[in-house]
Amino acid sequence: MATCWDFFSDPKNLSKITPQSMGFIVRTELPDKMYEGLMIEYTVRPMLGIPMNWITEIKTVKNHSFFVDEQRKGPYRIWHHEHHFKEVDGGVEMTDIVSYELPLGFLGRLMHPILVKNKLKEIFDYRRQKVDELFIATPISNKV
């Protein structure tokens, strides 16, 4: 649990689990450990290479259990992301809970299934793959 928590509580590691296609660039100097109130500014290029500035705040941290980040400025009307960690037999179970709302009312809701939903799935699928590569010592194979 400690190794996993140490990795995720170091904000410098966010770039290691973000797809290169996102053009993720951190704009602020980052500490080695996150803390409540930490503001992180970065640029992302999620669609068509168009840069977007994003500022998130680490709202809540409970060591070895969970942390929450919320958007302060960025592409979403609302962004609330909970990261939960639970020790289980043989490892750590991680759960992301993301609550968000797009801007532009009806137009935002219209664009959700066309652009946003699939892009978020792609990002979180990539993160799962990278976390598996970083933390699973022996790859798991499915045999039929």
What single-letter DSSP state applies at residue 11? Answer: G
Predicted model pTM? 0.86
Query: Taking the domains of the chain in order of start, what are their residue ranges?
Result: 2-135
Q: Classify domain 2-135 by CATH number.
A: 3.30.530.20
Residue 99's CB is within 10 A of a number of other CB atoms, namely: 11
Question: What is the C-alpha separation between 38 and 36, in angstroms, rounded?
Answer: 6
State mean pLDDT over 125-140. Answer: 80
Residue 116: pLDDT band by 50, 70, 90 thresholds?
confident
Q: What radius of gyration do the chain's Cα atoms show?
A: 16
pLDDT tens for each residue of 4-33: 999 999 999 999 999 999 999 999 999 999
Residue 140 has pLDDT above 50, yes or no: no
**Strand residue runs (E) in 24-117:** 25-26, 39-44, 52-62, 66-73, 78-88, 91-101
